[in-house]
Amino acid sequence: MSKCSVLRLRNNLSDSSKRVISRNWRNIFFALFLAIASSSFVDMFSRVAALEYDAPSFSAAILCQWDCGWYSSIVADGYHRNPVAHAKGDAANWAFFPAFPLFARAVVFTTGVSAQFALVLTSKLFLFLSLWAFLALVEKELGADAKMAAGLVVAFNPYIIYAHAGYTETLYFFLTTLSFLFLHARRFILAGMVGALLSATRLVGIFFLVPYLLYSSRFLREKNLQSYVPAFLLGIFLVPLGLGLYMAYLHSHVGDALAFKNVQVAWGRSVENPFDTLIAGLSVSGWERFFALSALASLAMSIWLVVQRRLDYAFFLVIVTLIPLSTGLWSMPRYIFWQMPFLFGMVIIFMKIRLLGGLYLVLSGGVGAVVVVSWALGKNFVI
């Protein structure tokens, strides 16, 4: 290769690197702007609830309610040894997976803030990271024109309160997005490592194995497959590691590796046929029908993703919809609206029908405001 060719190649690589760095910085600043705007939105309507509807004054304690309280107990005192909560004394914090409180515990250690404030801060931090990762994924798979829609559907999610209330939603969303980013880049070990964190965040995280294996069918016939096999197999074994370590800890701590599942009876949850649950919800009125419609929308989105040939997203979305649906309808909307494949499918739709995207954002903002005010007032239908 001539000296001129080497210089030309070096310049081309340099220009390419500069474009990548510039694009990443733009995504970072856009994600930061959206995260701040989203936080301001929640803060504003929390204060409206306090001023107009006699809700308690805005504070971390107002944001950190319900499940956040359970996570706070883990951050402050660790996992219970015996059930101690609820009227029957049959509830314990084993149902809440360890990754999120561990990150919050690190915030407490480095800043000295309270457990509640650390959880709220951690969820906000992961909102920023979720936005950055989702922008990167959408830009890679749908193009730069889709980034605006992608950022807005996350930052002004109708259930955006969960990005600011000390819940796992943003951590789960970030890890899901990052897992798929690494998987599609064939960075199998990194995908497996992030998948391990995902399975330590929520039980459904272990089902990242399904798209992981499904994606492999895309390159099984490639001549250089052999070079991927060791990393691919290692990634497979890494994904369940988070759940496995938590089960080992529970076995050592309380003598029951499945304590996270068995304690669910304290919340009246048991495993049923998810389709029976869905049909029952659609046949009644009130919030249960709305919850059922949310699950139905997710299943419909899965079909749309199949039509768009996004099979790995579609199968993952079906699984992470049916599993919580099998234990009841409660909380279905927040489960659905914080599933990355669901929002990814929405972005595809909005890029095809831009007017629909604008109408959705107006509706989403209105619903989000109602949910924030209801949260501040302690209405449990938003849980």
E strand or H helix at 18: helix 3-52
Q: Could you report how far apart the first and last alpha carbons of the chain are, in Å?
A: 64
Instruction: Phi first, then psi: give them for residue 270, nearest 5 degrees.
Output: -145, 160
**Residues found in the chain:** 383
Long-range contacts of 285-290 (CB under 8 A, 24+ apart): 287/381, 288/329, 290/333
| Interatomic CA distance for residues 161 and 356, integer angstroms | 23
Mean pLDDT confidence for 213-225: 70
Assess whether pLDDT exceeds 60 at residue 99. Answer: yes
Q: Tens digit of pLDDT for each residue in 326-370?
A: 998 888 999 999 999 999 999 999 999 999 999 999 999 999 999
User: What is the pLDDT, as a whole number, of residue 178?
Assistant: 98
Per-residue pLDDT band at 24 (split at 50, 70, 90): confident
Q: Tens digit of pLDDT for each residue in 188-200?
A: 999 999 999 999 9
User: What is the pLDDT, as a whole number, of residue 56?
Assistant: 73
Assess whether pLDDT exceeds 60 at residue 375. Answer: yes
Tokens for 248, please give them: 């080992």
Average confidence score pLDDT of the chain: 90
Give the residue with greater pLDDT, 63 vs 75: 75
Per-residue pLDDT band at 228 (split at 50, 70, 90): confident
Assess whether pLDDT exceeds 60 at residue 108. Answer: yes
What does the DSSP 8-state code read for residue 161?
Answer: G
Strand partners, 91: 85
b/e map 191-207, b = 16+ CB within 10 Å: bbbbbbbbbbbbbbbbb
Q: Tens digit of pLDDT for each residue in 45-59?
A: 988 888 877 777 766
User: What is the pLDDT, as a whole number, of residue 16?
Assistant: 47
Tokens for 43, please give them: 């803060």
User: What is the pLDDT, as a whole number, of residue 9?
Assistant: 45
Give the residue with greater pLDDT, 94 vs 381: 94
pTM score, whole prediction: 0.92
Give the residue with greater pLDDT, 61 vs 52: 52
Assess whether pLDDT exceeds 90 at residue 156. Answer: yes
User: What is the pLDDT, as a whole number, of residue 209?
Assistant: 96
Assess whether pLDDT exceeds 80 at residue 276. Answer: yes
User: What is the pLDDT, as a whole number, of residue 231?
Assistant: 87
Give the residue with greater pLDDT, 6 vs 29: 29
Give the residue with greater pLDDT, 8 vs 256: 256
User: What is the pLDDT, as a whole number, of residue 269?
Assistant: 83
User: Three-state SS across 113-133?
Assistant: CCHHHHHHHHHHHHHHHHHHH
Mean pLDDT confidence for 239-251: 98
Assess whether pLDDT exceeds 80 at residue 319. Answer: yes
Per-residue pLDDT band at 105 (split at 50, 70, 90): very high
User: What is the pLDDT, as a whole number, of residue 184?
Assistant: 93
Assess whether pLDDT exceeds 50 at residue 6. Answer: no
**Selection from 119, 125, 121 nearest residue 74 by Cα:** 119
| Interatomic CA distance for residues 136 and 199, integer angstroms | 23
